Structures are given as structure tokens and as C-alpha cells.
Amino acid sequence: MVAPRRLGRHPVERLGCRPLKSFDYWLQTARIDAAAPFVPDGARVLDIGAADGVLFRRLGDRIAGGVGIDPDAPRTVLGNVRLVPGKFPDDLDSGETFDVVTALAVVEHLDDDERASFAAKCFAHLQPGGRCILTIPSPLVDPILKVLVGMRIIDGIHQGDHHGFDPEKAIGIFRCAGFSLERAQRFQIGLNNLFVFSRPNGNAA
């Protein structure tokens, strides 16, 4: 697999957005570092919670293109990538499918009664054999983030709505939607979790 491109410092500045603080940028980059190796070359990618498209800049031209969706995304086209301001799945074409769906630091923000539907919609937007890649922080991160926000080391955007979600519960939720678990691992000294699910060839069980 071709190594992903390295990003420059504070990539959100490129689209005129408010720059991230250094620690926020480090957290964002660590999530992308964990997920990027599981995106195959030539894939079409749907990135849920895409911000300004930072994941796509990291993946570069080794992917075929994709769509990023986020309530705060600018409506723009970055090469072979389209950014859509809005909410998944409501503001995404229901018939559009992808080789990879990524949701980095997204699932913990959902309400408990939203996660099963979210997993099912991810499944519906994946081609058979495709991958769904998640990162979910440990609940132990929340008190740490509160301290860092208080010290103004990070902005802690949306930090308050993590709902104390246990990352291990994602395995059962996504399996019930038809996915198979391909990989589960911890990173960032065990405080963050990576899950790689695959959609089996054929229909959901």
C-alpha cells in the first residue's frame, strides 16, 4: 500500500476556518494515522464528520475520490472529493455507495437510540466487501479533556456530548447491522479505539 501523504500544520487554515490548537490537531492527526492504513488504494471513501476534508488531503491521490459530510463542512469540491454540509444520512444521496466509510470520533456523539440506525445506514452505503472504519475514545478521556479545556490547551469542541459511551458496545451494534469485525485495537496509550468492520459479500444476515 502506498504510504499516505503527510499533512502540513493546522490544515483547517487552508479553507479559511478557525485554526485548531496544537493539541486538537495532534488528536485529529492521530485518528487519521490509525485509520488511513485500512483504506485501500483506489477506494471511494465516505467520511462522516469530515470537517473541512482533512482526511482526504491525507489520503491524497491514492484514492479514487469520495464525499465528506459534516454540518460544518464548506460546500466545495477538492479535486475528486465533494464536501457536503449536512447530517448523515439525511443530506446524502441514498443511492450512493462507497468502498470505505469512515467515522472518526463520531459514534460517541450519537444518542443511544441513534447508533443502531447509524450502523445500518453505514452498511447501506457500503459496497459488498467494503470497510467501515471507526475511532471511538475511551470514556476515561472525558475527565482528561475537561482539564485540558480548563487549561485552554484544547478547544474541546463537542467534548461535552460524548455520553460516556463504552467503545466495546460498538462491536455488537455493528455486528447486528450485518458487519463482520475485521480488527479492533487501541492507540494513544490505550485511550482511543480503532474498529475496522467489513461488509460481507452478499446480503446482511
Q: Return the pLDDT at 23.
A: 53
Q: Report the topology of domain 11-198.
A: Rossmann fold (3.40.50)
Percent of the chain with pLDDT strictly greater than 90: 64
pLDDT < 50 stretches in the chain? 1-20, 143-144, 147-148, 151, 153-154, 157-160, 162, 204-205
Domain ranges of the chain: 11-198
The model's pLDDT over 155-165, given as tens digits with 9 standing for 90+, comes to 554 444 545 79
The model's pLDDT over 150-192, given as tens digits with 9 standing for 90+, comes to 545 445 544 445 457 999 999 999 999 999 999 999 998 878 9
Q: Return the pLDDT at 10.
A: 32
Q: Return the pLDDT at 138.
A: 86
Is the pTM higher than 0.85? The answer reads no
Long-range contact set of residues 137-143: C-beta below 8 Å, sequence gap at least 24: 137/105, 137/108, 137/162, 137/167, 137/191, 137/192, 137/193, 138/167, 138/190, 138/191, 138/192, 138/193, 139/164, 139/165, 139/166, 140/191, 141/191, 141/192
